[in-house]
């Protein structure tokens, strides 16, 4: 397996610690690109390998691996159950060992490790991991109890296993620094809000950033003139309103719990529900993730709610398949409830963005948005009244299409309905 030394000796590892998954890609800088020849802050990269571990909250975990370049590795693995992967940390260790044993890439050639970190507080851009930034991210862990703690565990494992590479944190919240004040502000005492940083931050920003670029390119429009309603529907689910290339609203809030329900998350509830659910709801617990302190209420609403609570499964594919059958009332409720909440955001954001005159497209993405033709169809059916459309045959065939962006509307004029295969690692 001969690999040109100069093209693969400056590797970039990109790690995406999601709530139920760990996705890792390895990139090399594009050798044809000269940084001095461009003023752009982005540099093209070539994907070498990509791996994904899912089911981390419903063990056994499943490992997938593929090399994008033939001479790197002949291995291709599709969802193999791996008992030794128990969590994000052991998943990362497994991946690095796999890379060493089954590809010609060498650990010593990894120069940069980019970590997706969900909550970055006021950080407007990426930061190099140092003692100070590590502790800042740690201090935000109780605002993203399913995410920041796990990302830090992976960062620590990485510093141990690949000590010569620098680690850089890229935040989900960065994309939403453009939220208008009236959107990000909660109607509470502003001196408390400001001193404690209690405002809407919004998440899934790396995904929205990727989707915005990909969709703008697909529509042949400049990013700064692209206006979209985008759904990122995965174990954590959100909707974002993008006006002229900037996030102007997003359904997640101070934490990723707000907005849509998810695999184990309740999504928005009347805040008073917490006081009535159980009288021990505000007791501090240490169970969510090591090193994170949260209350019982946060634990219940983050880890024991969502479709796990409604239908007894965290797998939305099962829910989508069973919904509508009289034999499966729980799955039917979970499916219809998600659609109801999504429609609420689409309607609201469509109006906020200026309706049919301004919106370029409605975009589905994330594990569910990209794979559930049934969910897309059920949503678009109810969005026809505002001008969106769906071609059922194209919708069913999305999985067979290779392109990053797939049109499922079948119209040639007006607002598009699109599916975008998001890639947070590449951002
Ligand atoms: N064919 C499918 N139909 C509907 N949902 C699916 C399908 N395949 C996977 N999913 C769902 O996608 C979700 C995972 O989405 P993903 O965005 O990859 O995860 P994460 O939120 O952890 O990053 C899971 O809830 C899974 O059930
Ligand atoms: C922010 C968030 O919910 O991320 P994920 O969907 O990866 O869990
Ligand atoms: Mg994700």
pLDDT digits (tens, 9 = 90+) for 195-249: 989 999 999 999 999 999 999 999 999 999 999 999 999 999 999 999 999 999 9
Mutate to test the pocket of ligand 1, among 365, 368, 379, 420 (most ligand atoms within 8 A of CB): 368
Of 188-202, 253-267, 272-286, the poorest mean pLDDT is in 272-286
Question: Which among 15-19, 143-147, 359-363 has the top mean pLDDT?
Answer: 359-363
Per-range mean pLDDT, top range of 16-20, 38-42, 74-78, 352-356:
352-356
Query: Does 197 belong to an annotated binding site?
Result: no
Better-predicted residue by pLDDT, 120 or 69: 120
Whether residue 413 is predicted with pLDDT greater than 90 in this model: the reply is no
Q: Are 236 and 256 in contact (CB under 8 A)?
A: yes
Q: Which ligand is nearest to the CA of 57?
A: 1
List, in order, residues 6 or more apart from 24 with CB less than 8 Å away: 13, 14, 15, 16, 50, 51, 52, 92, 95, 425
Cα-Cα-Cα-Cα dihedral sign, residues 211, 217, 220, 223 = positive
> What's the pLDDT band for 4 if we cut at 50, 70, 90?
very low
Where would I find the H helices in 283-410? 296-303, 306-311, 316-322, 329-353, 366-371, 373-383, 392-396
Active-site residue flag, 172: yes
If you measure from the C-alpha of residue 21 to the centroid of ligand 3, how many angstroms do you get, rounded to a whole number?
7
How many residues belong to the chain?
427
pTM above threshold 0.90: yes
The ipTM of this complex is 0.98
Q: 217, 271 in Cβ contact below 8 A?
A: no
Contact assessment for residue 230 and residue 365, using Cβ atoms and an 8 Å cutoff: yes
Please work out whether the CB of residue 331 comes within 6 Å of at least one atom of ligand 1.
no
Ligand nearest to the CA of 251: 2
Question: Which string of DSSP letters, residue by residue, matches 277-295?
Answer: H-TTTT-EE--SSTT--EE
pLDDT of residue 147: 86
Question: Among 47, 50, 105, which Cα is nearest to 77's?
Answer: 50
Give the mean pLDDT of 10-21. 92
- For 23-45, b/e burial (b = at least 16 CB within 10 A) is bbbbbbbeeeeeeeeeeeeeeeb
Q: Set out the domains of the chain in order of their start, with CATH numbers.
A: 5-175 (3.30.420.40), 205-267+305-420 (3.30.420.40), 269-304 (no CATH)
What pLDDT digit, counting tens, does each position of 329-387 carry? 999 999 999 999 999 999 999 999 999 999 999 999 999 999 999 999 999 999 999 99
| Active-site residue identified among 54, 142, 172, 409 | 172
Angle CA 106–109–112, to nearest 5? 125
Q: Quick one: pLDDT at residue 404?
A: 96
CA dihedral of 58, 152, 95, 299, whole degrees rounded to 10: 0
Q: Is 116 annotated as a binding residue?
A: yes
CA angle 34, 226, 268 (to 5 degrees): 110
- Whether 416 has a binding-site annotation, put simply, is no
Cα 51 from chain centre: 16
């Amino acid at each position: 397996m001969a690999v040109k030394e100069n093209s693969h000796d400056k590797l970039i590892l990109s790690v995406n610690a999601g709530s139920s998954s760990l996705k890792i890609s390895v990139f090399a800088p594009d050798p044809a690109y000269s940084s001095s020849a461009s003023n752009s802050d982005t540099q093209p990269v070539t994907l070498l390998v990509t791996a994904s571990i899912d089911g981390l909250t419903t063990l056994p975990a499943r490992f997938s691996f593929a090399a994008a370049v033939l001479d790197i590795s002949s291995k291709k693995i599709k969802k193999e159950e791996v008992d030794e992967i128990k969590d994000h940390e052991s998943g990362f260790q497994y991946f690095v060992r796999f890379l060493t044993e089954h590809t010609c890439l060498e650990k010593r050639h990894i120069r940069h490790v980019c970590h997706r970190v969900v909550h970055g507080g006021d950080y407007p851009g990426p930061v190099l991991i140092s003692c100070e930034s590590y502790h800042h991210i740690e201090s935000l862990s109780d605002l993203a109890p399913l995410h920041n703690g796990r990302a830090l565990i992976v960062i620590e494992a990485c510093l141990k296993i690949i000590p010569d590479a620098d680690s850089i944190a890229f935040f989900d919240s960065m994309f939403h620094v453009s939220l208008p004040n009236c959107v990000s502000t909660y109607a509470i005492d502003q001196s408390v809000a400001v001193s404690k940083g209690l405002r809407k931050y919004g998440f899934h920003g790396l995904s929205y950033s990727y989707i915005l670029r990909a969709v703008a390119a697909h529509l042949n429009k400049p990013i700064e003139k692209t206006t979209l309603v985008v759904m990122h529907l995965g174990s954590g689910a959100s909707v974002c309103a993008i006006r002229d290339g900037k996030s102007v609203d997003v359904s997640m809030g101070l934490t990723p719990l707000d907005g849509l329900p998810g695999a184990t998350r309740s999504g928005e509830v009347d805040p008073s529900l917490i006081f009535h659910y159980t009288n021990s709801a505000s007791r501090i617990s240490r169970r969510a993730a090591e090193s994170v302190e949260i209350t019982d209420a946060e634990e219940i609403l983050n880890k024991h709610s969502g479709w796990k609570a409604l239908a007894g499964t965290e797998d939305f594919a099962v829910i989508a398949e069973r919904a509508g059958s009289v034999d499966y009332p729980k799955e039917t409720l979970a499916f219809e409830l998600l659609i109801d909440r999504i429609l609420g955001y689409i309607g609201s954001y469509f109006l906020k963005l200026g309706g049919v005159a301004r919106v370029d497209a409605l975009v589905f993405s994330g594990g569910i948005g990209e794979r559930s033709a049934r969910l897309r169809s059920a949503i678009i059916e109810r969005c026809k009244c505002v001008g969106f459309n769906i071609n059922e045959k194209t919708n069913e065939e999305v999985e067979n299409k290779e392109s990053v962006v797939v049109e499922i509307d079948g119209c040639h004029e007006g607002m598009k309905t699109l599916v975008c295969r998001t890639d947070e690692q590449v951002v």
